[in-house]
Every structure is written in C-alpha cells, then in structure tokens.
Structure 1
Amino acid sequence: MSISGTRGRDLYSECAAGDTETAPLLTNGPVQTRAKGTSFASSVFNLMNVITGSGTLGLAYAMANTGIIGFSILLVIVSTLAAYSIHLLLKLCDQTGINSYEDLGRRALKKPGKVLVGITIIIQNIGAMSCYMFILKSELPAAINSFLKPDSTGHDWYEDGRLLLILVAVCVVLPLSLFPKIGFLGYTSSLACFLMLYFGVVVVVKKWSIPCPLPHNVTTHSGTLQVSNSSDSECTPKLFVISSKSGFAIPTMAFSFLCHTAILPIYCELDRPTKSRMQNIANISIGISFLFYLILALFGYLTFYAYVESELLLGYDEFIPRDIMVMTVRLAILFAFLLAVPIILFPARKAAVLLLRGERPFSWLIHVIVTLTILGVVLMMAIFVPDIKNVFGVVGSTTSSCLLFVFPGIFYLKISSQPIRSFDSFGAAFLVVFGLIMGITSLSVIVIIWVQSS
C-alpha cells in the first residue's frame, strides 16, 4: 500500500522538510522538492543496527532458562508481533500524515499521550545505550589487555574500564551522535552489521573448541561451579525449562527486537517513502535478525549449557583464554556496539527536543546540549549499574513492552477508522493485552527474585 491522497502528500511534504528533528508535522501546502533520501540498503542496515545490539549477548542465557523449543516459540511470537506492530504504526502514519511516534501519541491521547510516549522513548533508549556502554566498560579493558600482556598487574590506565568508557564516548560516540540526520549513519551501520556477523560465525565455530562436560571446579563470574567430568547429564540440551530465571527471557527478547523508536525517523528520510517500501525494510531487518538471534543463542547455549553467563562473551575467558578468534571477536563486537549507540541516541534526543521545544525551528545549541545531557546520563548508568541482566529485565518488561506492543495497539484503536471487528483492530487489541500481561508478569518475577536475593 503506497502513500496516496492528501494524507500521503502531507507525509511526503513533511519528510521533504525533515532536514531537522523538529519539522512541522502536518503541512497542507503543495508537495515540496525533496532531496534524494536514504537508500533501501542503508535503511536496512540502520534498522538492523538498532535491532542486533546488546541483546545478542543475553539471548543464549534466555535459551538456557527456557529451553530450545521454548525459546524458539517465544522468539517467533515476539518477532512476529514486532513486525505486526510496525505494520500498525506505518498504517497510522499513512492514514494521518504523522511521522513521529510522539505525535501519534498526541493524536490518540492528546498532550498526555505525547508526553508519555516521549518519556518512555527516552527511558528505553537510555537503558539500551547504558547496556552497550556497560558491556564496553566490562569488556574493553580485557580485550586490550589480552593483546598486550597477559600477566598485567591491573594498574595501567587502559585497564580502567571507566576511563576507557569516557574516552570512547568523547572521541567516537559524541562526534557520530551530533549528526542531525539518522541517514548519515548508514555507512557505520553496515560496518557494525558485518562485525556482528563475524561474532555469530565465531560463536558457531567455537562450539567445538570447548569440551563437555565442562572442566572441573571452573570459577566463573557467577561463582565457583562444581562440574563433574564423569557425567554427561550437563551436556544434554533442555527442550523446555521453567524457572524463576525464565522471567528474564521475554523482556530480553522484547528488548532485542525493539526498533520502533527508529522506524519513523528512518521512514521519513527514506528515498521514495511508501508504507510498503518501509514495511519491506522492517520485514527484512527483523527476518535476518531472527535467524541471527536463533543461531547465536542455540550455539551459545550448546557451548555452555546451563552455565551460560548473562553476558555470553564472559564464558569464553574461563575455558579458552587468549584464544585469538575470541580476542578479535571481542574487539569486533565492542566496536559494533560503539557504532550502535549514536543510532539509539537519535530517537531519544528527538523525543527530548519535541517535549522541550515542540515544533520550533531546529537549534544547534539545543541539539548539542540535549546530546551531551543524554550521553552524560548514559555514562553514569553504565558506570554504576552492577549487572546488565537487571537492565534487560526492567527495561524490557516496562518501556520495551509498551513501545513494542501496548502503544501501537492503543494508538491504532484510538486513531484508525477501521471497524472494531476488523482483523487489524482485533490484532491491535491482542497486542495491548499481550504487552500488559507480559510486562506485569515479567516485572513481578524480576522483583520477587531481587527480594529473595536480598
């Protein structure tokens, strides 16, 4: 379904004026001459860079706590619903001429809806960026040290994760984050996607480098594990697993497939923007990410079984230290995460600017101040959050479930003129119910685990 009629012209005109982050939303004038936008391939890379991020390190842990079949079923459900909720957002965008998630909230729920969506986007994206930065803080010193000297005393400046985090944020993340349009990041996104592909290849290959049963008395980041060398019971993959830790599985998946905050900015900058063209980009990106996630989680789980770390890379250090492929893939994945942060920051900054300034003209001063503020908050969280699993759980069960399931369903039911008994209306209602049940249940399980641990 392509953009047509007055509403389609409104969206096209707005995208033509979208050289700034706060372009007016509904323009009733004639269609403007529009510069060539972002290509189809660059848009796919940008969207995949948003999807295949820090969740890649947590999905093997999710499979260990749900089982292979249980994980696969949940992954199919979450990815399908993610693609469907994007369909609803694009359909609303096509019907109304609105190209902003926040303003869809305003159209559906008046000003409180816009504020609610904006705050949710800011919280979710700050949580996502904090996960990337947390991984950089914990992994970058070890990655550098593995190439330099294995017998380090731990007192060199490059072994301080907090210092390295600040350096890479100032020297790499900040300059890329200051670009005013998301399309400029297409080249860095393509590089990040190829680095993630290399990560997947190494995880598959290294499955045969670590024997099972795992070595005796292995000390991991979770504590000392007493693993019997004489028993093969630990090497039998579980098809279904239900435990208290299963509560982290769906939030981690929701966190991993959430790209909805970047959908409409990418749509607006797309060359020849039509709903069907953008839907194809979303479907391709989610489909490739689904296969990548499934393979990565499966081989990561079959390498460590029940002893998968919440951060997959940590397990390799214990069993094959100073392996050259693991050393290089660590740097590759860290660089990919580093390149993903500016893309995640873009929607958060856009939401903050819309909440603060409305539809006033673009200002470089506000642009820079908001960027610095968000990046500062992210750095503080990355430095002080003790475990990435907690961020996955809380953010995934709250803001991610809202942006992925609840908000698209509510907005469609409030804005669309389709009859309540139509397929999409029924699907929107299902998204709302599923998102609320998933979020409340997962958050309750996580809180119970925290209380029991304390």
Structure 2
Amino acid sequence: MDRESSADQRAHSIMQQTESGERKALIFPEKQPGEGGSSSLTSASFNFINSIVGSGIIGLPYSMNQAGFPFGMLLLIVIALITDYSIILLIKGGTLSGSRTYQALVHSTFGFVGYLILSALQFLYPFIAMISYNIITGDTLTKVFQRIPGVGPDHFLADRRVVILISTVVFTLPLSLYRDISKLGKVSLLSMVLTLAILITVVIRAATLGPQIPPTENAWSFAHWNVIQAVGVMSFAFICHHNSFMIYGSMKEPTLQNWSRVTHVSVSFAAVLSLLFAAAGYATFTGYTQGDIFENYCKNDDLATFGRFCYGVSIITTFPLECFVTREVVSNVIFSGILSTTAHVGVTVVIMAAATAISLAYDCLGIVLELNGALSAAPLIFIIPSACYLKLSAGRWFQGENLLSCIILLAGVFVMFIGVTMTILYPQDCSHGAELFYCSPSNLSVIHTTPSSGLLPPQNVSQNASQST
C-alpha cells in the first residue's frame, strides 16, 4: 500500500501549489518583498554538512574502539538513517503545528514545560560542542605551531590555553557576531574542503603507519560491552537538529521537497565521510585510539601536522554555527526573540566567554563527546522529533508509519539513560596531550621506521601500552 498517512497528507497539502502556481512556504508564511532567506540549495547544503561534520567526526574512530569495529560500522549507518528520518520528521511536525522554530514546535506540542526542557537541551548541545571545538583547537594547533622552527615546548604558541584564547578573539568571535547564518555559506564550503583533506591524511596514514603498530588484543572482535557509550559519540557526530529550522529558514524556497533534497544530500555525504574516517582511523591505532584521533599521531609526523592544521581551521569555521543556535535559544527564552545590537553582542560575548573558560580548564575530548552525545544529542535526534510527530499525527502510536517513530523514541530513551550512567561510572582515559609509547625515541618513532624493520615486538607493545595507561 502506497497510501500516505493522514499526517503526511496534511503536511503535503500545505505544500501544494496554488492556482497561480506559487508555492506556499512549509513553515514560514509567504515571503514579502525583502523578507525570507537568501541561501540557495547548495549553500544550505554546505551549512548543513558543516553542521554535521564538526568535532564529532574526530571521535568516530574512538567510537569504533568502544563498540567493536564491525558492529560500530553498522551502528554508524543506522544512526545516519535515523538522523535523516528525524530531521524531515521535525519539519513535518513544524508543518502540522504551524511552527517556525524547534522551540515553537515543542511548545505547541507539549506546552511550556516541554519548551523549557527543549530549550535547555538545545542550548546545552551546541554549548558543549563549542567547548569540544576549543579543546580540539588547543590540542591540534599547538602541535602545528611546534613544528615551526624556534617554537619549542616552552613557547607561548605551544600553550593550548593561549592558542584557544587567540583563536577565539581573532577568528571565532568575529564570525559568531554575524546575524545572518547564510553569510557563513562560503566559510562552510571551506570547512568541507578542509575536511576532505583531513580524510585523505587519515587514509594515507592508515596505509603507511597502521601496519607498523601491532593491533591490540581483540581489536577486530564484533562488539564490545560499552557499545552504548559509542552510540553517544556517534549521536554527537550526527546531531544537526538544533539548527535545522535555522538552516531551513535561510533557504530561498523553503519547501518540503527542497528540504528533503538538502537533508538527503547532506546526511549521505556526511555518512560517507564518517564511515571512511572511522574505518581508517581505527584501523591505524585499534585499541590505542584516543577521543581525538590526532592525539594518536606523533608530533614529528609532518603529514599529521598538515591534517591537524586543516582540522583546526575547519573547527574554527564550524564554531559560529553552534554559537548561532545557543544565542537563538537565549534570545527566545529571555528576550522574546528580539535582540538589539547591544544585546546581540553582549549575549554572544557571554556565551563564548563561558565556553572558552571551561575549555581552558579541561582537555579530555572523549568524555565530552560521550556525555554530550548521551545527554543532549540522543534526546534531540531520537526522542523529541518522534514524540512531537506522534503527538501531532493521527492514528495510534503502534500502527502504520507511527510505529517507526515510536521505536526510535524508545531507543532514544534507552541510549540517553544508559549512556549517561556508563559515562559517569566508566569514564574513558585520555593521553592529556602526551605522546603515546610508539612515538618515544627508545621505541624508534614510527614516522622514521621502515615497514621492513617493524616497530616493536608484540610483547614490548603490550608492556609499553600498560605503562602508558
């Protein structure tokens, strides 16, 4: 049976062409002259992909270490499919309720209490993402600067705190002060190009460096016991729901068909990048994989230095997208959606100052990704879009198309509570910026070891690995 549900019929009816041939907007009223977004489908896709492929991609090899490689790859595909489905579900929910924002959708569906919960989550996720971006910037760019002649470990450019402060003041703050997200389209394109360069770097090192690092015990087992923590990291990597309405609103022609096209292209592209990155990164380091994969590479690896530079710049260009969302939440909750120029600047500075202060004090990326994935991303991907659609749609929850939304909702509740619990009870350690055992001079740095000479006997690898942890 190809018959659509009554909810879909209602959603599509809003999108049908009028007799004059003009389309009605999906959520926004018909545009008046001078109003509406200015992003083309391509520009919107760039912003969407940039929103997905943020700091989370750097932790995907780490999620393979947690989940087990075969099962982890399957999970990554499933989460990408759920992401694609739930993003479109959000827009359908907005259609049924006549909402213009994510907060308005939840408010119309679950009242003021639901609105407050969603606002807290929608603020928390991008805010923690901003913290993770700063951690990555400090970790990666300090190692890049140390490759410059004359910049030693004691130089101010080798201090992650100084680098975070400089990048914030010089780059991310000015970009975050924009009011129109469509102005970031070209910046997002640059971020995509840099991400491709990073992927090529990781794939090359998987082929040249991976064979010289003996795999850890059970490196290729199907699944591991802490797989739920891996789901949290993957959810963090794919979350983009918090700015979906914002990107949708920036489109010149916000229709269901156009939005579905942007969503499918963006999520598919991000999924391919994520699968390649996760596979290549984990295959190189197996059980030694860190939350930030670039923490695994040796400081004197020039190719890795290039990758670090590209990723550092990419993160700086992605940061403003998250700041836009946090500022919008504050604007809607406290300022009724209207920010004067002074308030706009003040709120932006306060948000960025808070995120920067936390990132200066903490440097373990893996736990940040796990906690944000389980606490914020899981509700935003799995629970809230499904709950809103089920509440607004006709028919029983366990019948027809609503059944899939119900399954996703229940899965999200499970991932959220179990993921947060396991992250607290079983926190993963990190290297805190220290070189791993295979980079020390006594172990013949892998960068200068030929494939024929080998790296270390397996027993020495195990011994050094235990000492490093």
| TM bucket, shorter chain | 0.7 to 0.9
TM-score relative to the length of structure 1: 0.86
2:293 corresponds to which of 312, 322, 344: 312
Amino acid in structure 2 at the alignment position of 1:391:
V
1:336 and 2:352 correspond: no
* Stretch moving more, 101-110 or 419-428: 419-428
Amino acid in structure 1 at the alignment position of 2:284:
T
In structure 2, relative to structure 1, the CA distance for the partners of 1:289 and 1:163 (3 Å cut) is same
Listed as ranges, the gaps of 5+ residues in structure 1 are 17-30, 215-231
Q: Deviations over 1:374-409 (max 9, x none)?
A: 101110111112411111111111111111111111
2:403 corresponds to which of 426, 431, 436: 426
| Structure 2 equivalent of residue 141 of structure 1 | 142
3-state DSSP of counterpart to 2:401: helix
Please give the alpha-carbon distance, in whole angstroms, between the structure 1 residues aligned to 2:24 and 2:389: 18
Q: Deviations over 1:288-326 (max 9, x none)?
A: 111111111111111112111221011111xxx423322
Distance apart, 1:419 and its partner CA = 5.0
| Structure 2 equivalent of residue 355 of structure 1 | 333
Please give the alpha-carbon distance, in whole angstroms, between the structure 2 residues aligned to 1:343 and 1:115: 22
Distance apart, 1:339 and its partner CA = 0.4
User: Any residues of structure 2 matched to 1:26-65 within 5 Å, and which?
Assistant: 34=35, 37-65=38-66
1:379 corresponds to which of 320, 336, 356: 356
Q: Deviations over 1:335-363 (max 9, x none)?
A: 0001000011111110110000224x441
CA RMSD of aligned residues (A): 2.4
Distance apart, 1:423 and its partner CA = 3.3
| Structure 2 equivalent of residue 240 of structure 1 | 222
| Structure 2 equivalent of residue 26 of structure 1 | none
* Stretch moving more, 400-409 or 440-449: 440-449
| Structure 2 equivalent of residue 221 of structure 1 | none
1:324 and 2:302 correspond: yes
1:290 corresponds to which of 271, 281, 288: 271
3-state DSSP of counterpart to 2:426: helix
1:270 corresponds to which of 251, 261, 281: 251
1:366 corresponds to which of 328, 343, 349: 343
Please give the alpha-carbon distance, in whole angstroms, between the structure 2 residues aligned to 1:417 and 1:34: 34
> Is this contact kept in 1: 2:69–2:222, CA < 8 A?
yes
Identity of aligned residues (%): 22
Please give the alpha-carbon distance, in whole angstroms, between the structure 1 residues aligned to 2:217 and 2:316: 35
* Stretch moving more, 120-129 or 32-41: 32-41
Q: Deviations over 1:150-193 (max 9, x none)?
A: 7x2x2222122112211111111111111111111000000001
| Structure 1 equivalent of residue 4 of structure 2 | none
Please give the alpha-carbon distance, in whole angstroms, between the structure 2 residues aligned to 1:422 and 1:183: 40
2:27 corresponds to which of 11, 18, 27: 11
In structure 2, relative to structure 1, the CA distance for the partners of 1:234 and 1:395 (3 Å cut) is closer
| Structure 2 equivalent of residue 174 of structure 1 | 173
| Structure 1 equivalent of residue 261 of structure 2 | 280
Distance apart, 1:239 and its partner CA = 4.2
* Stretch moving more, 338-347 or 381-390: 381-390
Please give the alpha-carbon distance, in whole angstroms, between the structure 1 residues aligned to 2:345 and 2:224: 47
* Stretch moving more, 62-71 or 173-182: 62-71
Amino acid in structure 2 at the alignment position of 1:357:
F
| Structure 1 equivalent of residue 128 of structure 2 | 127
Amino acid in structure 2 at the alignment position of 1:284:
V
Q: Deviations over 1:267-287 (max 9, x none)?
A: 111011101211211111111
In structure 2, relative to structure 1, the CA distance for the partners of 1:146 and 1:342 (3 Å cut) is same
Please give the alpha-carbon distance, in whole angstroms, between the structure 1 residues aligned to 2:300 and 2:122: 39
1:395 and 2:362 correspond: no
Please give the alpha-carbon distance, in whole angstroms, between the structure 2 residues aligned to 1:450 and 1:13: 48
Amino acid in structure 2 at the alignment position of 1:331:
F
> Is this contact kept in 2: 1:8–1:94, CA < 8 A?
no
3-state DSSP of counterpart to 2:38: coil
> Is this contact kept in 2: 1:46–1:189, CA < 8 A?
yes
> Is this contact kept in 2: 1:65–1:242, CA < 8 A?
yes
3-state DSSP of counterpart to 1:189: helix
* Stretch moving more, 109-118 or 193-202: 109-118
Distance apart, 1:436 and its partner CA = 0.3
| Structure 2 equivalent of residue 115 of structure 1 | 116
Distance apart, 1:32 and its partner CA = 5.5
